[in-house]
Each structure stands twice: as structure tokens, then as C-alpha cells.
Amino acid sequence: MTVEKFKDKVRISRLLAWCSEHKSSWYYRRSANRPGRKPSTHTMTVTGGMVANQKVIVAIRKILNEEFVCYGYQKTTSELRDAGFIINPKKTYRLMAEEKLLLNKKVIQTTGKREFVKARKVKAKHPMQYLAMDIKYVYIHGEKRNVFLLTVIDICTRKVLGHVLKPSIKKHDVVLLLDGVLQEYQVKGIRLRNDNGSQFIAHLVREYLKENDVVQEFTHVATPEENGHIEALHSILEREVIRRYWFDTYHYAKWKIADYYQFYNSKRRHGSIKMMSPEKYWQFYFSDYLPNAKPAESGMIVKGSDAGGTCEALDNHGAKASFALVNKRQSLLN
């Protein structure tokens, strides 16, 4: 063809005009090389320097090797930026893909009228406005049995306010855990969302919440999406802890989950709260809502002598439990 013969000497558009051909008749033929700029081999830092990409990869491996960290490229990018690298998510994705470090997308995985939720999705404006609680099974491999994890979270900040892991969860366990949370935060007008489990609909629990001006909302039957925040937390826990560890004993599981919740509150980044950890998000945007604990009453929560801020309490029903609150871990001991 004439255009092919003379394209190195004359512009293609002029050749097509001479041949009375439309430009659309000339199709682009991709060259053997990839289009666009070649991938960069170095990365800038906030100090103005340049470092080799291999150093960035070392930093990525260090981030991902930390216990409980199960990040994709977006959260890894945030960590790298905090470490002083000027890097965008696309480059982080490329480096992690080349090193096979990307996160696997598929993980083998009573009495009285109840007030049901009126909105499927909750949008809290500040901490301690909406709370959510739920119970999850945790399998103990070494003992071949399930134990039960009860968790309470703040919906606004995604912070775990308290948890208890026990062979069984009774109504008094719910009251005891909530009492620890409510003593830590002197807030009125809280709304608490939960499902229709027998522990939550118990008269003892409902009366306790009513006495403390907490409005209890029940999700509709077979609609876990109405309590999506706590369901999401338990899904994260399943993926990042329960499926990654072999629990020989109940006490080991209790210790490991308590450690994870401490990591979750203080370090784990969340896309829904501006890539911050729950504690950092709370302190940065809602410093006025930090806990203001008052002295315990009726001997339920007794201050211990631990300088680290540990609290002890009596569980009259005989089982050991634990719960983590803002800035400190608390234990309910027999």
C-alpha cells in the first residue's frame, strides 16, 4: 500500500489525503513495547531524597510482617506515606504485585414489646451515639469445642469498647460487660443495636438498659445487614485472626483475641474513617468525647493496684472474662 511505502518520509495524514482515504481507515497497530512511560525505579521521600524501589519493598514487607496486619495496597500506601515515602496507590499496587504481596481477595473462608430498628443503615454523628453488640462463635481446635465472643463497638469510630470470651454467654454477662462500658463513658441517650438473641431480649438486660437511659434496638429476624458494623468487625476478626491461628486452649484464644482488639483499636487502619485507627480518629475529630470515668458503685468495678490502668471486677457466676476499653485493658476476674 502507498501509505505503508512512504509513511517514513511523509506524514500519514497527508498520504491519506493524497490517496483520498479517510483517517478512520488507517488503524493503529500496537508496537511490541508497552505504551506509556517505563515504570520508575526509584521513589521520592518527604526529605527530598530518592531511594530505590527495593527499599520500598523492604518497608512493605516490614509492614505486612507485623502481627495481625492483613493489609491490601490502599492501607499499605497509607503506612508508607506515614513512613516518609511519596508514593501513590498505583505504584504500591505494582510493587506488591511484582513481589506477590497483594492481599488475596478470596479467603477460604422474653416479655414486653421490642423496639425494632427503623433504619437499616446507621450513620452516627459522634462517638457514643450508636453502639452495636453481637455474639460470635470461636472454635478451640485443641479442645474441639466452640466458645462465645461478645463484643460491643462504637459505630461512629468503629472502636471496640468491650468484649468478653467465655464458654457460654448468659444475660448477666451482657449486663456486666455493658456496665463496664457505661461506667467508663458517662453519656446519656445512647442507642444500642443488637439482634434477637436470647441473651439480648432477656428481661434483666432490657431493664438494666432502661435504668441507664439506653435505647435498645432489635434488628429484624434474618437481617444481619441491619447490624452491619459489628458483623463487619467479626468478619475482619475471622479473616485476620481466627483463620490464621490454631487455638490449643480457650485461654490462648482469649489472650490472642484481646491482643488483636488492642491492635485493632490503636493501629489498624480503616477505609471508612479516613485510613485512621479508631483511637486516632476518635482523638483527632472527637476529643470532647473522651472517657470521663467516675468511681465505681456497688462494688462491681473495683480499681486495682496496677499502675497500667487495669481494673478488676467480680463475676459472681464464676467464669473468667475480659474486656478492652479506651486506652486500657480491663479484666473481670472470678
The confidence score (pLDDT) of residue 311 equals 36
Give the whole-angstrom CA distance, residue 39 versus residue 29: 22
The domains of the chain, with CATH numbers, are 42-98 (no CATH), 130-276+288-333 (3.30.420.10)
The confidence score (pLDDT) of residue 162 equals 95
Min mean pLDDT across 132-141, 190-199, 217-226, 250-259 is at 217-226
Give the whole-angstrom CA distance, residue 161 versus residue 181: 7
In this prediction, residues 196-208 reach a mean pLDDT of 94
Residues near 184 by Cβ (< 8 Å), separated by ≥ 6? 161, 291, 293, 325, 326
Q: How far, in whole angstroms, is CA 48 from its chain's centroid?
A: 33
**What does DSSP say about strands 215-218 and 191-194: parallel, antiparallel, or unpaired?**
parallel
Min mean pLDDT across 95-109, 121-135, 161-175 is at 95-109
Tell me the residue type at 287.
Answer: S
pLDDT band of 299, cuts 50, 70, 90: very low
In this prediction, residues 15-37 reach a mean pLDDT of 72
How do residues 34-56 score in pLDDT, each as one tens digit? 677 788 999 999 999 999 999 99
| Structure-model confidence comparison of residues 23 and 213, the more confident one | 213
In this prediction, residues 60-88 reach a mean pLDDT of 92
In this prediction, residues 249-270 reach a mean pLDDT of 95
Range 255-273 burial, b when 16+ CB lie within 10 A, else e: ebbbebbbbbbeebbbeeb
In this prediction, residues 128-153 reach a mean pLDDT of 95
Residues near 235 by Cβ (< 8 Å), separated by ≥ 6? none
In this prediction, residues 176-182 reach a mean pLDDT of 94
Q: Are 266 and 277 in contact (CB under 8 A)?
A: yes
The confidence score (pLDDT) of residue 106 equals 47
Q: What is this structure's pTM?
A: 0.69
The confidence score (pLDDT) of residue 104 equals 72
The confidence score (pLDDT) of residue 333 equals 28
pLDDT band of 185, cuts 50, 70, 90: confident
